[in-house]
Amino acid sequence: SAAEKGGYPYFMLKEISEQPAVLADTLRGRLSPDGAIVLDEERLSGEDFRDIDKVFIVACGTAYHAGLIAKYAIEHWTRLPCEVEMASEFRYRDPVLDRSTLVIAISQSGETLDTLMAVKHAREQKARVLAICNTNGSTIPRESDAVLYTRCGPEVGVAATKTFLGQVAACLLVGLFLAQARGVLYGDEVGAYVEKLQKMPDLVARTLGTVGPVRELARSLSGARTVLFLGRHVGYPVALEGALKLKELAYMHAEGFPAGELKHGPIALVEQGVPVVVVVPSPRGRAVLHDKVVSNIQEVRARGARTIVIAEEGDHLVEPFADHLIRVPATSSLFSPLVTTIPLQVFACELALARGLDVDQPRNLAKSVTVE
Ligand code: G6P
């Protein structure tokens, strides 16, 4: 009903708008008075966590993209090697697992069978399992040794939006938790990160407030045959998520690439008028990568691409090369997906609506896939 949709014509629009609140809820109360990160369930000892020497992340779809972002944070903060794998591939390749391996399973529903089977395989091999999940008491958290719940509330739109933001925040918290458990980061450092994280809901709200022109842009591109997405560092998984949203919702061909890989193949796809969306790294935090991505924008534009540039406020270097410039608030690199994802969600949603499609119930897709 209209009331359930909170006055929005689609649940997806409502769920996009709820993101500042769900992010704040997921982050609430995560720092104990003695400065420790608080999970929701912990059936492992501090020693078990200290002994972890390798991390695998398993997930499907949008949750897999959250996992790709987590890898950057986990390796940076914990200095543990971390691999991310689509759950459907994990157990069939005989991964090297033992009791000092932590497998992080990310699943909104907690019922995705591919992810559940990856968890079961990991446990059979004695690995420890930590679940990031949005559904209390669902199967994956019940099969896990530790759980951090995202508190996004029920998500009705088949294509994940608010739960992706919740997953990214949860991944950052797990990264801090592990760094603390290993003694790599201390209470005050962790506290400072959490404090910065807690400012993100306001920045997400600001991003939602300035995203209007993206709608008009999306409508103007509803006839495009393909859309390419480029990013680097954490902007790369964001590019993948932007492309996935467009496939799911608008049934358009879309691909995400690491911008550095452009010259090794994808640039051959660029011809007159092809829209290329570029997620630009911060010029402050990642100056070297920023300059390389600016060169990539010039390269595709010289070949006729219509460039849609997502860049931090105050980044003037991108201006001459952006046919369309979408601003997001400045953040530290690891937190930036929480804002750069927003315009891509709105872009895909609006483009699908312009094509006359039902964004809550895309064809052939299921909210939760309980078959392998
Ligand atoms: C389905 C949904 C996706 C979701 C994926 C993983 O394919 O359509 O939106 O990302 O499952 O779901 P999960 O519940 O495990 O996060």
pLDDT band at 52 (very low <50, low <70, confident <90, very high): very high
Paired with 102 in beta bridges are 55, 128
**For the residues 23-28, what does the mean pLDDT come to?**
98
Which atom of ligand 1 has the smallest separation from the CA of 160?
9
* Cβ–ligand 1 contact at 107 (below 6 Å): yes
Own/partner pairs, 243-246, CB within 8 angstroms, 24+ separation = 244/61, 244/62, 244/65, 245/159, 245/344, 245/345, 245/347, 245/348, 245/349, 246/347, 246/348, 246/351
pLDDT surpassing 90 at residue 165: yes
| CB distance 108 to ligand 1 below 6 Å | yes
Spell out the SS3 assignment of 48-59.
Answer: HHHCCCEEEEEE
What is the three-class DSSP state of 93?
Answer: helix
Confidence of residue 233 (pLDDT cuts 50, 70, 90): very high
Secondary structure in 3-state letters for 264-297: HCHHHHCCCCCEEEEECCCCCCCHHHHHHHHHHH
Least confident residue range of 5-9, 53-57, 117-121, 255-259:
5-9
Band of pLDDT at residue 187, cut at 50, 70 and 90? confident
367 is catalytic: yes
pLDDT at 74: 98
In this predicted structure, what is the pLDDT of residue 156? 87
* 3 state SS of 151: coil
**CA 219 to ligand 1 center in whole angstroms:** 26
**What is the band of 2 on the pLDDT scale with cuts at 50, 70, 90?**
confident
Q: What is the pLDDT of residues 197-228, one digit of tens each?
A: 999 999 999 999 999 999 999 999 999 999 99
Residue 63 CB less than 6 A away from ligand 1: yes
Q: 286 pLDDT band (50/70/90 cuts)?
A: confident
- In tens, the pLDDT along 96-119 reads 999 999 999 999 999 999 999 999
Tell me the two tokens of residue 111.
């019922």
Q: How far is the CA of 368 from the centre of ligand 1 (A)?
A: 6
* Residue 259 CA from chain centroid, whole number: 17
CA of 112 to the centre of ligand 1 (A): 7
62 CB within 6 A, ligand 1: yes
pLDDT category of residue 154 using cuts at 50, 70 and 90 = very high
pLDDT of 1 over the 80 cut: no
Query: Mutation test of ligand 1: which of 108, 115, 135 has the most ligand atoms closer than 8 Å to its C-beta?
Result: 108
Three-state DSSP state, 152: coil
**Structural tokens at position 221:** 């591109």
Tell the residue nearest (CA) to atom 7 of ligand 1: 61
Distance 357 CA to ligand 1 centre (A): 20
Cβ 369 under 6 angstroms from ligand 1: yes
**Tokens (6 digits) for 150:** 């995202």
**In degrees to the nearest 10, what's the CA dihedral of 17, 196, 54, 88?**
10
Q: How far apart are CA 259 and CA 335, in angstroms?
A: 19
Asked if residue 138 has its Cβ within 6 Å of ligand 1, the reply is no
Nearest Cα neighbor of 271 from 224, 226, 225, 304 is 304
Q: Is the pLDDT of residue 163 over 80?
A: yes
ipTM at complex level: 0.91
Q: Does the C-beta of 365 come closer than 6 Å to ligand 1?
A: yes
Which pLDDT does position 186 carry in this prediction?
Answer: 86
- Distance, CA 321 to ligand 1 centroid (Å)? 35
Q: Looking at the predicted structure, is the pLDDT value of residue 89 above 90?
A: yes
Q: Compute the mean pLDDT over every residue in the chain, rounded to the nearest whole number.
A: 96
Q: Is the pLDDT of residue 190 over 90?
A: yes
Query: pTM here?
Result: 0.97
| pLDDT at residue 205 in the model | 98
**What pLDDT was estimated at residue 51?**
96
